[in-house]
Amino acid sequence: MLGMSLEKVVFGFFVLLAATLNFGFFIGDLSDPALHSVYELFAALVVSLIATVLKFGDRTQLGAVHLATSLVADLQLIAAAVVWAYATQVSHAGLDAEALATVVSLSGGALLANLVSVVLLVIETVSFHRR
C-alpha cells in the first residue's frame, strides 16, 4: 500500500459498502417482502452511520458535502427502519405492499445520497492525482 493512506482506504470502504448494501436492499419488486431483507436494511443503516462518523473529521468544503450526503442517507434509512418497525410491530395491517413500498422508496432516497457520496469520492480521488 505504497502511498496509500489507511484512513482514506477505510473511508472509501465504508462509503462504498454503505452504497452497495443499500442497493442490495433497494433492488427488487416493491411489493415482494422476500426481496427486501430487514437484515440488509439494518446493515445498510449501521454502515451508513459508521460512514457518517468517519466524515466528521474533514473540515474542507468537499468534506462538508460528504457529511451532508451521509446525514441525508442516515435520515432516509432511519425513516425506512421506523416504517418497517411500525408496520411489523404496531400496525394491524402488517408489512403490506404499501408499507413495504414506503420503506423501499425511502431506501431509494438514501441510495441516491450514497451515489452522490461515491461520485464525490471519485472526483476527490481523480483531482488528488492531478495535483
Flag whether pLDDT at 34 surpasses 80: yes
Instruction: Work out the percent of the chain whose per-residue pLDDT is above 70.
Output: 94
Q: What is the domain range of residue 103?
A: 6-27+36-130
Whether residue 86 is contained in a domain is answered as: yes
Among 66-70, 94-98, 115-119, 121-125, the minimum mean pLDDT is found in: 121-125
Whether residue 118 is contained in a domain is answered as: yes
Whether residue 90 is contained in a domain is answered as: yes
What average pLDDT does this structure show over 94-121? Answer: 95
Kindly report the number of other CB atoms within 10 A of residue 100's CB atom: 21
Whether residue 73 is contained in a domain is answered as: yes
What is the predicted pLDDT for the residue at 129? 58
CA distances, 64 to each of 1, 28, 58, 70 (Å):
27, 32, 7, 10
Whether residue 94 is contained in a domain is answered as: yes
What average pLDDT does this structure show over 41-45? Answer: 97
Whether residue 1 is contained in a domain is answered as: no
pLDDT band at 55 (very low <50, low <70, confident <90, very high): confident
Global confidence as pTM: 0.90
Whether residue 112 is contained in a domain is answered as: yes
Domain count of the fold of the chain: 1
Instruction: Work out the percent of the chain whose per-residue pLDDT is above 90.
Output: 72
What is the predicted pLDDT for the residue at 130? 52
Q: What confidence tens digit (pLDDT) does each residue in 60-80 have?
A: 888 899 999 999 999 999 999
* DSSP3 helix / strand / coil % (the chain, rounded to 5): 80, 0, 20
pLDDT band at 5 (very low <50, low <70, confident <90, very high): confident
